[in-house]
Amino acid sequence: MRWYEILLIFVGGLLGLMVTVSLGVFIWRFATSSSSLVSRATPLVDVLTIVLAVAGVVIAAVGYLTYRLASERIERRAVAEVRAETLKNKARLLTYIGYVYWVDFECTKDARYIEQAIDLTKGAHDVCARELDERERENELLIGAIRNNLAYYLAKRGRPEDRSLSRGYAEYIHSRSQNFPEQREDWEDTYRFVLQVYP
């Protein structure tokens, strides 16, 4: 819940309470303003009691409804944020494990390792990264890192059927490299390597 929503709820409740109290004070003063009216004020006091009781119930009901709406909204937002964080962490983990397999491939030249690296990194991309909001800088960086690795792994494997996918990922990171100066050199190296393998 944003600060202005809380402020609006607080001001609304305060205004409702002030109107109720002001109405009660006005009726009470009117009823007790002259001694001749005191004898006739008993019905007004009863009316005032009823009005104040009804106003109290209305204020309580509005407060409860406001609380319920606010709590449901906060709960939905919390669930969405937890899901996004879970997806990001899973994507980072799969990408890192894929990188470990890539390092193993570089050391051993065992093709099983590059296949595993590609599968894990594709899992990070297809299962996790696709659901993230790319307009957020942190998500855009994560997606770029995943696509950078995938583009490089696919180009290193060198299969003709991987050409469009590898080039697509390379184009993506090339178009966003200016947004991330700390990644620019690595992403541009990947871009050049992919274009060299898949001209």
The Cα 67–Cα 12 span in angstroms is 13
The Cα 83–Cα 89 span in angstroms is 10
- In this structure, the chain runs to a length of 199
**Contact (Cβ atoms closer than 8 angstroms) between residue 181 and residue 137:** no
pTM equals 0.68
Higher pLDDT, 35 or 162: 162
Structure tokens at 37: 């009216």
Structure tokens at 132: 């993230």
117-150 pLDDT tens trace = 999 999 999 988 888 888 899 999 999 999 999 9
* Mean of per-residue pLDDT scores for the chain: 85
**Contact (Cβ atoms closer than 8 angstroms) between residue 166 and residue 150:** yes
The Cα 106–Cα 153 span in angstroms is 11
49-106 pLDDT tens trace = 777 778 778 887 887 888 888 888 888 989 989 998 999 999 999 999 999 999 999 9
Q: Which residue type, as a one-letter code, is found at position 145?
A: A
Enter the DSSP assignment of 2.
Answer: -
**Contact (Cβ atoms closer than 8 angstroms) between residue 42 and residue 74:** no
Please tell me the predicted confidence (pLDDT) of residue 11. 72
Please tell me the predicted confidence (pLDDT) of residue 28. 63
Higher pLDDT, 22 or 30: 22
Torsion on CA atoms 149, 189, 159, 163, rounded to nearest 10: 90
**pLDDT exceeds 90 at position 154:** yes
Please tell me the predicted confidence (pLDDT) of residue 4. 67
Please tell me the predicted confidence (pLDDT) of residue 1. 58
**Contact (Cβ atoms closer than 8 angstroms) between residue 152 and residue 195:** no
Please tell me the predicted confidence (pLDDT) of residue 22. 74
User: What are the residue boundaries of the structural domains of the chain, listed by start?
Assistant: 3-75, 83-197
Comparing CA positions, the residue from 110, 129, 133 lying closest to residue 120 is 129
